[in-house]
Structure 1
Amino acid sequence: MRTYRRGKTWYLDYLHKGRRIRRAVGRSKRMAELALKDIEVKIAKGENLGVQERPRVLFRDCSAEYLQYSKTHKATSSSERDALSLKWLTAAFGDQYLFAITLRQIEQYMTERVEKGGVKGSTVNRELACLRHMLNKAVEWGYLNENPAKGIKMFKEPPGRVRFLEPAEIDKLLKECPPYLKPIVVTALNTGLRQSEILGLRWANVKLRTRTIMVLQTKNNEPRLVPINEPLHRELRRLYARRRGDFVFCDKDGKPYEKVYRGFKAACRRAGITDFTFHDLRHTFASHLAMADTNIRTIQELMGHKTIKMTMRYSHLSQQHLQEAVGLLGLRLSGEMQRQLRSPSTTEENDSIS
């Protein structure tokens, strides 16, 4: 039995009938100590503490339930990432009851994954995010009183990687794309949609007349309306004329493509493009918007970012692009000034002044 403080709040931490209980008391250490003594007396007398019994749930059972929740409520890419995270988490905590998992154990898991497992801190952060959300759901489902991962500190991560293509590289890539892949890449470059959002597109959600796409299968499950520009409009009209089913991007039998990883990687290799993934097409879309001096809030809306923080990674490109433009202007002006200085009229004028 003990009292402890987290932030400005004091908590009680004790075992009752084989179950660990943590309960917030208030901001007074003295009140927390008195409350703990009262509980000690009640336990000694066998009195009812008024604590509602919670089911004894194993981590592995909860993780299986959470994975089903993830598949139902999250985008496919997110649920697949949760499945991978839960594989490692279940290997570490699977046979423990949820109430027995402590903050210290979670911190030890973090350390061992990095030092012994050799994985990056960013990977562990994704696993911890999954764990924290799963335990939050466990609290909602009545399996826990409090989330032990609530106060966990993530590893520091470097700024997000931004790799984008220049116009000449885009031309090279499109020339190397096979017929089935080219319209998918054109869509990514002109909308910034994620691969899962593109491959899940149905013709019912593509409005060629109003030049809009309603994206329903988004990462955060919030539909958004995306405009269709002229290059994409031409490509979609061509596809629509020979459509094979409900899905925009599908094989000859009308089945949607699940992934285009291999085909895209091969096209990049033939085009001589290195260190580039399909997701970087999304970065290319946002980067060129930023370099065109598009308002950062507009980029956020087009990208479907929940917070402006994600979009701010592109803001420096706008400033960099402006700096380069001014630099080119400086070179042009300096060259013009040099020519003026070398011209006969300028020489005569200088002679007359002297």
Structure 2
Amino acid sequence: MSVNKRKDGQWLANVNKQGLKRVRKLFATKAEAEQFERDYIVANSKPVPAAAAAPIIAEPVAMVVADVRTMTDLVALWFMYHGVNLSDGDRRQRCLASISKELGNPLASSLTAEQFVAFRFKKLQGGMMVKTFNNQHGYLSAMYERLKKLKVIDYHNPIESVDFIKTHERQLSYLSVDQISTLMDAITNGCKNESTYWVAQICARTGARWGEVEKLTKKQLHDGRITFEFTKSKRTRTVPLCPSFYVELLSFVGFKNPNDRLFTNCIGSFRRAAARSGIDFPQGQCSHILRHTFASHFMINGGNILSLQNILGHADITMTMHYAHLAPDHSIDAIKLNPIALGAANG
């Protein structure tokens, strides 16, 4: 069955289909030839008996099963699949479990942005700091995003449309040289736990986190340096110590085995010493202020920002840049390139 154009310009309709009588006919146009073919086939085809018709097979209907897992269930799954591998995974899990409880442990898929914003209002009215809540917001949002990426859940993050609360950026607090001396006196004269002094000294001398120092082992001391392991960024870093202090530290450590801890847990002892010192510590920065103090004095005394990044173990230079303004030459061109100075120079 086909329509072909002949050399004389006419169109030949050639119906040659099984079950029909063959027919050939000429037409002036292609459209007429094709229309004839269609009409002929329709007029001469026998209807298909109902019994012979192909059975209609219904498409299978996908069963939609509601996700009835609670938020607490998702927290447990998040920790199993991801949180356990984070350096602060235990702390995040406790935080997420607390949020779940305060929200009433709803079905994780049923949480709405409106419910979360109402929860935020309640927490902030209750006295929670904005920065603290932003951290918790980030943990919860990251949990949903991670589980969606792992295909543990098949719905979107229910609070992805909720913006974090913007806060005014503040200069990080740090201790003066006199305040450091006052704090060390409070530790030396009032702490029964000897480890407190050594941990505080190392934090102030290297910018290390309290937990990194408190868990040091003998093998991490070598050739006048400390190598920090199991850090927040999961990278090791090595920081040198003052030679005289290093000798004193080795004397305190004594003959320990490579895997023996150097110090006992002493954060409680340090907090009590901080309270006795009379220094006004920023909220939530009792021991962490030693890290800020090291970094601030490092830059004040002309340290290099990239060196500071390596010493602190920051994975992102953005974090280290919080201290950049303390450098002696920070934005120094503002002195000679401002319009008053330029006007005086040209006058």
Q: Tell me which interval the TM-score lies in, with the shorter structure as reference length.
A: 0.5 to 0.7
User: 238, 253, 258: which is aligned to 1:225?
Assistant: 238
Say if 1:223 and 1:187 are closer, same or farther in 2 by CA, change over 3 A.
Answer: same
* 2:267 alignment partner in structure 1: 260
Q: 1:89 deviation in Å?
A: 3.1
Give the structure with higher Rg (CA): 2
Say if 1:49 and 1:317 are closer, same or farther in 2 by CA, change over 3 A.
Answer: farther
CA contact (8 A) 2:218 2:262 kept: no
Residues 318-329 of structure 1: pairs in structure 2 closer than 5 A: 318-319=327-328
Q: 1:245 deviation in Å?
A: 7.6
* 1:351 alignment partner in structure 2: none
CA contact (8 A) 1:66 1:134 kept: yes
* 1:90 alignment partner in structure 2: 101
Matched, 1:72 2:78: no
Q: Which amino acid aligns with 2:84?
A: T
Matched, 1:206 2:221: yes
Q: What is the CA deviation profile of residues 17-43 of structure 1, one whole-angstrom value per residue up to 9, with x for unaligned ones?
A: xxxxxxxxxxxxxxxxxxxxxxxxxxx
SS in 1 for 2:327: helix
CA RMSD of aligned residues (A): 3.1
Matched, 1:315 2:315: no
* 2:27 alignment partner in structure 1: none
CA contact (8 A) 1:58 1:95 kept: yes
Q: Which amino acid aligns with 2:173?
A: R
CA contact (8 A) 2:324 2:330 kept: no
* 1:40 alignment partner in structure 2: none
User: 176, 187, 195: which is aligned to 1:180?
Assistant: 195
CA contact (8 A) 1:125 1:155 kept: yes
How many residues matched?
267
Q: Hey, what's the Cα distance between the residues in 1 that align with 2:306 and 2:153?
A: 41
Say if 1:199 and 1:180 are closer, same or farther in 2 by CA, change over 3 A.
Answer: closer
Q: Which amino acid aligns with 1:130?
A: Y
Residues 102-181 of structure 1: pairs in structure 2 closer than 5 A: 102-115=112-125, 117-139=126-148, 140-160=150-170, 162-177=172-187, 178=191, 179-181=194-196
Say if 1:70 and 1:165 are closer, same or farther in 2 by CA, change over 3 A.
Answer: farther
SS in 1 for 2:103: helix
Structure 2 gap ranges (5+): 1-57, 336-347
Q: What is the TM-score of this pair, normalised by structure 2?
A: 0.67
User: 283, 287, 291: which is aligned to 2:300?
Assistant: 291
* 1:273 alignment partner in structure 2: 279
CA contact (8 A) 2:301 2:328 kept: no
* 2:73 alignment partner in structure 1: 61
SS in 1 for 2:198: helix
Say if 1:296 and 1:260 are closer, same or farther in 2 by CA, change over 3 A.
Answer: same
Q: Which amino acid aligns with 1:157?
A: T
Q: What is the CA deviation profile of residues 253-291 of structure 1, one whole-angstrom value per residue up to 9, with x for unaligned ones?
A: xxx41x413x21332344432326111000111011011
Q: 1:132 deviation in Å?
A: 1.0
Q: 1:316 deviation in Å?
A: 1.8
Choose between structure 1 and 2: higher helix proportion. 1
Say if 1:280 and 1:230 are closer, same or farther in 2 by CA, change over 3 A.
Answer: same
Q: Which amino acid aligns with 2:72?
A: R
Q: Hey, what's the Cα distance between the residues in 1 that align with 2:82 and 2:273?
A: 33
User: 305, 314, 322: which is aligned to 2:314?
Assistant: 305
Q: 1:160 deviation in Å?
A: 4.6
Q: What is the TM-score of this pair, normalised by structure 1?
A: 0.66
Q: Which amino acid aligns with 2:242?
A: N
Q: Hey, what's the Cα distance between the residues in 2 that align with 1:307 and 1:315?
A: 14
Q: What is the CA deviation profile of residues 203-256 of structure 1, one whole-angstrom value per residue up to 9, with x for unaligned ones?
A: 12222x2x3322222123233233333354133222232548834433xxxxx4
Q: 1:123 deviation in Å?
A: 1.9
Say if 1:51 and 1:242 are closer, same or farther in 2 by CA, change over 3 A.
Answer: same
Q: Percent identity?
A: 22
Q: Hey, what's the Cα distance between the residues in 1 that align with 2:165 and 2:230?
A: 30
Q: Which amino acid aligns with 1:288?
A: H
Q: Hey, what's the Cα distance between the residues in 2 that align with 1:267 and 1:244?
A: 30
SS in 2 for 1:181: helix
